Structure 1
Amino acid sequence: MKKLIFVLTLATTFLAFNDTNAQKFSGIDKSVADIAYYKTDRNAPPSIKVIYSRPLKKGRAVFGSLVPYDKVWRTGANEATEIRLYQDMMFGDKEIKAGTYTLFTIPGSSEWTIILNSDTDVWGAYSYKEENDVVRIKVPVSSGNESLEAFSIAFKQDSEEKIDMVLGWDTTRVKIPFTL
């Protein structure tokens, strides 16, 4: 009898362990979350941090189709893109205070409107409110030689004080100027 109880306990433990290891992770976002930092050097504290999700092209036409022109876009996928400025700086030609903002954009074929909005922790652009815009600037669109499968954000230092935050997807490139 003790042997039977031992075998049943062992079998139950094995099945429970096996079921735990076989756990399915359904519903995981297909657009992976990412973070881009701008630091003056590798050991310096960050000046800018961007948290965003990276949708994939998957053979689709992107701007003007998947992402319509002339409509507010969350600038990525899932939750709206969040940007944290660790110090006061210039955003284009506008002065902006240190803080956390949501980065919305309005893509166009030759020019984009870039928006920093005070609403944070929002899903997509569904609850976007223009009255909560802190600042808007317009920037030109350019093309890259390489088609990017995933929407990407990176920083490029122009000079000691000037930084471009570059948005790229497919062959579209948009540079957003910051000055420290």
Structure 2
Amino acid sequence: MKKIMIALLALTVTFLTTTEATAQKFRGLDKSPMDVAAYPSDYKESSKLVKVQYSRPQLKERALSKLAPNDKVWRTGANEAAEITFYKPMMVGSTLVQPGTYSLFTVPGDKTWTIIINKASNVWGSYSYDKKMDVARTTGKVMKGDTNLEAFSIAFDESKDGATMYMGWGDVVVATDLKKTN
């Protein structure tokens, strides 16, 4: 009888432990999933110059001008502000930016976008954006893309002095150079 009681107790504890572990509720997929773009983009290359972590909102038949309005600071994606990590000293426009992780904001425009590297971290959206925390500002040229991108995207290509960062959404592509210092 004692052995039966011990076995029942062990089964009960196992059942309760298993039930608690499987009772966890997991969210579904985010509507604007996070992504990472880096240069060099080859996963086998561990010596990166730059990496951007950002969320990818979808147009869903909405106008880009409503989601990323001209002349207003934008979080550069969705949810949290995008974060850019420099692994080596880099020139952003005419400003030397030291290695580290920064927030990446943009100000869309018709012909150029302002790209902002900001010291703030762990920032939700651009609601608490503070210009006093800016480390560097530069511009990116607006071009018409070859395809219409449903999801906001960031990619890098090699440039003569470092990397060119491309941001694309809808038929808009914005390019800006990030230059190595040596």
Aligned residue for 2:67, secondary structure, equals coil
Amino acid at match of 1:148: L
For structure 1, the 5+ residue unaligned runs are none
Aligned residues with identical type, % of pairs: 45
Counterpart check, 1:95 vs 2:95: yes
Q: Give the Cα–Cα distance (whole angstroms) in 2 for the partners of residues 19 and 26 of structure 1.
A: 17
1:44 CA drift (Å): 4.4
Whether contact under 8 Å (2:97, 2:135) holds in the other structure is no
How big is each residue's C-alpha offset from its partner over 1:39-94, in whole Å with a ceiling of 9 and x where there is no partner?
2874341111111111112x3334211221111000011110111111112113x1
Residue number in structure 1 paired with 2:53: 51
Amino acid at match of 2:97: K
Q: Give the Cα–Cα distance (whole angstroms) in 2 for the partners of residues 43 and 10 of structure 1.
A: 50
Residue number in structure 1 paired with 2:64: 63
1:1-180 map, 5 Å: 17=18, 21=22, 23-26=24-27, 29-39=30-40, 42-57=44-59, 59-92=60-93, 94-99=94-99, 100-159=101-160, 161-180=161-180
Deviates more, 1:147-156 or 1:17-26: 17-26
How big is each residue's C-alpha offset from its partner over 1:108-155, in whole Å with a ceiling of 9 and x where there is no partner?
122111111111111110100011111111222111121112111110
TM-score (norm: length of structure 1): 0.82
Q: Give the Cα–Cα distance (whole angstroms) in 1 for the partners of residues 110 and 141 of structure 2.
A: 9
Q: Give the Cα–Cα distance (whole angstroms) in 2 for the partners of residues 179 and 130 of structure 1.
A: 23
For structure 2, the 5+ residue unaligned runs are none
Number of matched pairs: 177
1:19 CA drift (Å): 7.8
Amino acid at match of 1:176: T
Q: Give the Cα–Cα distance (whole angstroms) in 2 for the partners of residues 22 and 112 of structure 1.
A: 47
Deviates more, 1:142-151 or 1:41-50: 41-50
Whether contact under 8 Å (2:97, 2:136) holds in the other structure is no
User: Using a 3 Å threshold, how does the CA distance of structure 1 residues 170 and 19 change in structure 2: closer, same or farther?
Assistant: farther
Whether contact under 8 Å (1:90, 1:96) holds in the other structure is yes
Q: How much is the aligned-residue C-alpha RMSD, in angstroms?
A: 2.6
